[in-house]
Amino acid sequence: MQPTEHTLEVWGDLACFTRPEMKVERFSYPIITPSAARGIFDAIYWDGLREQRGKHSAIRPYFHWQVTRIEVLEPPRYIALRRNEVKDRVPSTAVLNKWMEGKAPPEPIWADGTKEDGGDTKGRTQRQTMALKNVRYRLTARIAPKPDFSGEAARFNAQFQRRASQGKCFQQPYFGCREFPAFFEYLRDPPPPPATPALPDQDLGYMLYDVFDLSRTVVDDRDPPFISVFRANVAGGVVQVPAYDSDEVRKPGRPAC
């Protein structure tokens, strides 16, 4: 029988799980967020049907990853970094597809330049980042199939287990920023938490849960961010993550207590 939950041990040299209220400077939460944890599982296995809707594309996902547990194996250690960031944004998927198909000439994103080539409005800027170093977690999640694919959960679980056990991924997982790679190992029989927790029991307050609406059955590239938060409590070095549709997850339009 295929497992209904999967556990990864993940680690890396640097990580930054930026608080959404930090508009300019990046300041990391003390531990990984459910959103970043879901991104690691997505990087190993995620799938859906791509649809073209005029000039825009949409994806009908087969499932979404529901993170259920975050176990902290190393205490949070902060490090101050100064990073050069490009001010301009990457174009939409539709624009990138046109560039790749040769239907439109690619337009470079300028890191440095003069007024003639856009240097007066674009370019790069130096920002302070309070990141984490030497992070290690055990992440547990389950596949939550969308209604149209509820009968295929066993197939999805088998594919993820096979890929994760072999160290395969569709893209390099990362800890918050793409330049902070995450390495992973699939645990068939996760060990119990350490006798001495890496993080003492505490209430971390409201933490970012996700930046997308995980309940959507169709994801359009024009969809705006959909911020949700939850109350993160550490007990025995573990944060239990509620289900996305739980009342414990605060979403736009639902006031916090």
Q: Tell me: the pLDDT tens digits for 239-250?
A: 999 999 999 999
The two tokens of residue 171 are 């893209």
Q: Which CATH class is domain 6-82+132-250?
A: alpha beta
The two tokens of residue 248 are 């414990």
List pLDDT tens digits, range 55-95: 677 888 999 999 999 999 999 999 999 887 777 777 777 78
Give Cα 229 distance to the centre of its chain: 14
- Which conformational region is residue 197 in: left (phi greater than 0), alpha (psi within -120 to 50 degrees), or beta? beta
pLDDT for position 256: 43
Q: Is the pLDDT of residue 257 over 50?
A: no
- Torsion sign, CA atoms 246, 50, 44, 142: positive
**Lowest-pLDDT range, 48-52, 54-58, 101-105, 222-226?**
54-58
List pLDDT tens digits, range 84-135: 777 777 777 778 888 888 888 888 777 776 556 555 555 677 788 999 999 9
> What is the domain partition of the chain in residue ranges?
6-82+132-250, 88-122
- Is the Cβ–Cβ distance between 57 and 221 less than 8 Å? yes
Task: Give buried/exposed letters for 220-252 (b at 16+ CB in 10 A, else e).
Answer: eeeeeeebbbbbbebeebbbebbebeeeebbbe
The two tokens of residue 238 are 């573990």
Task: Report the C-alpha gap between 76 and 175 in whole angstroms.
Answer: 14
Task: Report the C-alpha gap between 137 and 190 in whole angstroms.
Answer: 12
pLDDT for position 23: 63
Which whole-number Å values give the CA distances from 83 to 16, 125, 177, in the listed order? 12, 8, 12
pLDDT for position 115: 52
Query: What is the rounded average pLDDT of the residues 176-203?
Result: 93
Model confidence pTM above 0.75: yes
pLDDT for position 121: 53
Size of the chain in residues:
257
Burial bucket for residue 121 (CB in 10 Å: 0-12, 13-18, 19+): exposed
Radius of gyration, alpha carbons of the chain? 20
